[in-house]
Amino acid sequence: MKVGELNRRVTLQKNTVEWQDVVTVWAAVDPLSVQATIAARQADQPYTHKITIRYRDGVSTDMRVIYKRKVFEISAVIDKEESHRFLQLLCVELQIADAQMSQTCQIEPCTGYGRHSPEYGAPVATRCRINRQAASKDATGFFPVNTTIKSGDRVICDGHVYIVQHVAEDRGIANTAHKEVGLRGLSD
């Protein structure tokens, strides 16, 4: 690989309390061929893309890549030939299909703030998928793309109560398959 082939700008993010930009770098973004994708799935390694960046310390599988408003989960980090020149990131493009949204939650829209606390409107039921973060009350929620949800709304799902911290599309990371939402847990 030649440095000149790294002609796409990508952003690496790390999840602390919410996804934070770590660095924006030049990269080569290559979707795998159909045959390579099928072979990866059969080997229980469902990669969809190979993203190559210049070598840098600290890149790991607990990070993700943002490219052209798409989100890629890093499944493997490879220092090709252990030369410390380039890293190959084997990634899966995140697409949360409606069929994977098997939970039902209530969204209570924040209507304003009273004397001591927020006030919420009538709950609206919707399908979702909530992924709780290990050792944390926080979670990431995936909702149908047409869901009305904003920062400050309350989400109740499977006995857990969350406050919406951010909606990914508000940060320029839209996905046509789902709406990704950062949730702060209020209960265990």
In this prediction, residues 158-182 reach a mean pLDDT of: 78
Q: How far apart are the first and last CA of the chain?
A: 48
Q: What pLDDT digit, counting tens, does each position of 101-160 carry?
A: 778 899 999 999 988 899 999 999 998 888 887 667 888 888 887 889 999 999 999 889
Dihedral of CA 102/150/157/119: which sign? negative
Domain boundaries, the chain: 3-93, 98-185
Record the tokens describing residue 64, joined without a space. Answer: 């993700």
Q: What distance in Å separates the CA atoms of residue 142 and residue 130, rounded to the nearest whole number? A: 6
How many percent of the chain have pLDDT more than 90?
Answer: 35
Topology (CATH) of 98-185:
Thrombin, subunit H (2.40.10)
Q: How far is the CA of 153 from the CAs of 8, 81, 130, in angstroms?
A: 36, 49, 15
Q: How does residue 39 score in pLDDT terms, banded at 50, 70 and 90?
A: low
User: What's the count of helices (H) and strands (E) in the chain, helices before strands?
Assistant: 1, 14
**Confidence bin at 22 (pLDDT 50/70/90):** very high
- Percent share of the chain, pLDDT over 70: 81
Q: Which residue has the higher pLDDT, 80 or 60?
A: 60
At 36 the pLDDT is: 61
State the Cα–Cα distance between residues 89 and 9, nearest whole angstrom: 14
Q: Average pLDDT of 37-41?
A: 59
pLDDT of residue 23: 95
CB atoms under 10 Å from CB of 92, counted, come to 18
Please name the CATH architecture into which domain 3-93 falls: Beta Barrel (2.40)
Residue 163: its pLDDT value, please? 95
How far apart (Å, rounded) are the C-alpha atoms in residues 94 and 96? 6
Burial string for 21-42 (b: 16+ CB within 10 Å, else e) reads eeeebebbbeebeeeebeebee
Q: What pLDDT does residue 17 have?
A: 65
- Report the C-alpha dihedral over residues 55, 14, 100, 106, rounded to 10 degrees: -170
Query: Cα(45)–Cα(63) distance, rounded to whole angstroms?
Result: 17
φ, ψ of residue 81 to 5 degrees: the values are 55, 15
Task: Please count the residues of the chain.
Answer: 188
Q: Is the pLDDT of residue 70 over 90?
A: no
